[in-house]
Amino acid sequence: MPRFSAPFAAAVAEQIWDMKYRLKEADGTPVDLTVEDSWRRVARALAANEPDPAAREAEFLAALEGFRFLPAGRILSGAGTGRAVTLFNCFVMGTIPDSMEGIFQALKEAALTLQQGGGIGYDFSTIRPKGALVRSVAADASGPLSFMDVWDAMCRTIMSAGSRRGAMMAVMRCDHPDIEAFIAAKEDPARLRMFNLSVLVTDAFMEAVKADAPWELRFGGEVWRSLPARALWDRIMRSTYHFAEPGVIFIDRINAMNNLHYAETIAATNPCGEQPLPPYGACLLGSVNLAALVRAPFAAGAHIDGGELDALVRTAVRMMDNVVDVSRFPLPEQEAEAQAKRRIGLGVTGLADALLMTGLRYGSEEAAAQTGEWLHAISRAAYLASVGLAQERGAFPLFQAEGFLNSGNMRGMDEDIRALVREHGIRNALVTSIAPTGTISLYAGNVSSGIEPVFAWSYTRKVLQKDGTRSEEEVTDHALALWRAENGDAPLPGHFVTAQDLTPMEHLRMQAAAQRWVDSSISKTINCPADISFDDFRDVYLAAWDMGCKGCTTYRPNAVTGSVLTATTEGGEAPALFSDPLARPATLSGETYKIRWPGSEHALYITINDILIEDRRRPFEVFINSKNMEHFAWTVALTRMISAVFRRGGDISFVVEELKAVFDPRGGAWIEGRYIPSILAAIGGVIERHLIAIGFIAGEGLGLKSDPGAGLAAGVPQSSCPACGAFDLRMIEGCLTCAACGFSKCG
C-alpha cells in the first residue's frame, strides 16, 4: 500500500499540499481534511459572487479536479480562508520620485507589499546618478545603487522577522549614467542578494549595437557621456556569462506589444519576468496542466482534445476574473490598478510532458509548431471567454475599442476575435502569461514545469512524515512514470530529452513559439553549457531579439550561481564532505577574538579551534563566551550547531554568509567605521576573518564559491541548500531551487 492517498501520484505531492495549500487552524489542526476539501474551498470562494453560486462552484470544482487547472499558490492557499491575504502574485511598485522623501515612501510601500509575500519589481532609472548635484543640500547624489542597498537590507529585515519570503526585481535603463555600475553590482557576492537584476534594453540601443554606433548615457535631458554601444552590450553579456546577471528585457518591444499601449507605459517587471507591469500594476496567475489533458498518451493517436481544452480555459478565465474582486491588496493603489484593467495571467504547465506523450522531442521544429498550436488555441479560448464576460459584466473600465484594437498583441489577433472585441469589448486587458510553476507542478504529480523541458527524469527528495521523521522518496517525472508503467525498464525512445540534452537555440525556439500567443511575457531559463564560448553565448541574446522575444534569461554553470563546483585547494583537491563527523583530537590549536558590541556591558569572546588535515588547517569547533547571561542560551545553541557543521567537512562558507545576512530589526551598530547589521553578523565576520587567516577562503566576501581556485567537478554541487543542507540546487525558471526540499530563491 502506498503511504499517500488518492488523488496524489506521490507522497511528495501530498506533502506539498499539506505544507503549502491545506487550510489549518492556528494550532495546526487541519480544516481541509482532503485535497478535495481544498478544491471545494477555492471553488466556493470564487463562485460566491456569481448569480448561481452552486452551479458555478460545481463547474469550478470540476476544473480543479485531477489537477487540470492549477491556480497559483496564493489562490490555492488563501481563497476562502477569511484571512487578510492577497491572492495576487506579481506587483510592480510606483515610480520612485527623485527625492529623499519620495524614495523612502517608496521603500515603505515595498515593505508593506513584501510583508504579504508579494514579489515586487522596481525601476531605479528615475533616481539621479551618482555625483549629480543635489541643490537643496549642496551635495552630490549617492546614486541609485546606494538606495538599492537600502531596499536589499529592508527585504532581509522583513524576512528575518519571519514573514514569507519576498522576491525583488530591479531594472535600469540602458542609457542611465550609472548603468555600468548596475551591471557590475552583483559581481560582489555579498551585494544585492535579495534582487534579480535586468537591464531595460531599447530598440535604439539594439540598433546601435548592430551598427557599432556610439551610445549616449543621459539623465534629465542632459548627456553625461558617450561610449560604444557594442562595448556596453559586451559589458552586459560578460557579466551575465560570468555571474548569471543581469538579465535583458526588451522594454520597447514590451510596450509596443502591450494591449494597453494607449493607456500606460511599462518600465519594470515582476521578479521572474513574466509580468511586465505599469506603476502599481498587479497580476494574478494560473496554469492549464497540458499533461493532464493528453488522451492516449504514447500511442499513435496521442492528442489533446480541443473541446476539452477550450472548455477548461473558459472556466479558468472566469475563475481568475472573479479573483480580482475577492482578493485583498497590500496598497490601495494596487487595487485601483487591478480593478481598472483586470489583468489576469493564464498560462500552461506540463508542456514538455505533453510533448513527450505525443511523441515530440522538446526543442524540435515539430515540437515548436505543436506548442504554437496549443498556445494559439488557449489564447483564442481565453479571449473569447473574456469577451463573453464583457457581455455579461461589462468591459474593463479603461477599455477604448480603437485604442485597444490598435495596440500590441491585439493587432495580430484573429479577425473574428477582433470583431467581437470591437462589438462587445473585453473584460480583461491582458489574459495570458507563462509563469514559474515549480511548486504547483510538483503538487500536480511532478509534471514538467511551465514551458521548460524536463530537468531530470528522477531525483531523491526528503519527505517529512506525520511522525516527524523524514524519508527519502524518489520523485519521477510524470511522463516518464506513465511510460515506465507501460514499458518497464525498456530503453527510452529518442525523443525523451532533458534540459541538459538541448542546445541554447532549441530552448530559444520553444520560447519564441510560445511568445507569439502570449500577450504578457514568459518565465523561461535558457540552459547553456559551462564550456559555451562567450561569442556563442552572446549570440543567444541577439537571437532572442531577432526571434521576437520580450526578454532573455540564461543559466550557465559558474562559480557564483551555485553550479556544480567544488573549491580546490592549492594542491588541487576539494575539501571533503565526511560521511561521519570528525572525532575530536585531545588537543587543538586556535585563536580567540573579542567583540565589544555597542550598548552591551560585557564583551563576547569567540574561540575558533582548527584541525590539521593533510597539512592544511580547517575549522573544527567554535566557542562563544560572555559574562552577559542574557546571551547564554543562544550562544550555546549557536556554537553547537556551527561546530557540528564544521565537523562534517565540505564547504562551510555558507555559515559566514548566513550569519552576515542576519539583520536585527532593532538596528545594528557601527564598529571600526563599518555598519554591522546585528551581533550575529559580527560573529559571522569574525569567523570569516579566521577562515581567511588560515587560508580556507580567499578573502572577505569571497566564500569558497567565488574562490579563484575553484574548479569544475562534475556532479558535485558546491553550495548546499540553506533550508535543508542538501547539495542539490538547480536553476529552474530563473529561481535557484532545491530538489530535495523545494526551497526556492529567486535572485
- The H-assigned helical ranges of 262-305 are none
For residue 488, CA distances in Å to 179, 225, 445, 482 come to 55, 65, 19, 10
User: What phi and psi, each to the nearest 5 degrees, are found at residue 710?
Assistant: -65, 140
Q: Which sequence positions are flagged as catalytic?
A: 270, 272, 274
In whole angstroms, give the CA distance from residue 308 to residue 312: 6
Name the packing angle between helices 415-424 and 365-393 (round to 10°): 20
Dihedral angle, C-alpha 440, 442, 446, 449, nearest 10 °: 50
Residue 110: all three cell numbers together: 515595498
| DSSP-derived 3-state class of residue 289 | strand
On the 0-12 / 13-18 / 19+ scale of CB atoms within 10 A, 724 is middle
> Residues near 36 by Cβ (< 8 Å), separated by ≥ 6?
65
Which residue from 170, 277, 740 is spatially nearest to 471, judged by alpha carbons?
740
For residue 675, CA distances in Å to 166, 189, 623, 672 come to 24, 18, 24, 8
| End-to-end CA, the chain | 41
* Largest interatomic CA distance in the chain: 87
In whole angstroms, give the CA distance from residue 285 to residue 301: 32
CB atoms within 10 A of CB 346: 31
Residue 204: all three cell numbers together: 535604439
Strand 119-123 with 90-92, pairing: parallel
Residue 215: all three cell numbers together: 551610445
Measured on CA atoms in the order 689, 691, 697, 701, is the torsion positive or negative?
negative
In whole angstroms, give the CA distance from residue 644 to residue 429: 55
CB atoms within 10 A of CB 633: 9
On the 0-12 / 13-18 / 19+ scale of CB atoms within 10 A, 333 is middle
Name the helix (H) or strand (E) containing 204: helix 203-211
461 forms bridges with which residues in the sheet?
473
In whole angstroms, give the CA distance from residue 542 to residue 209: 10
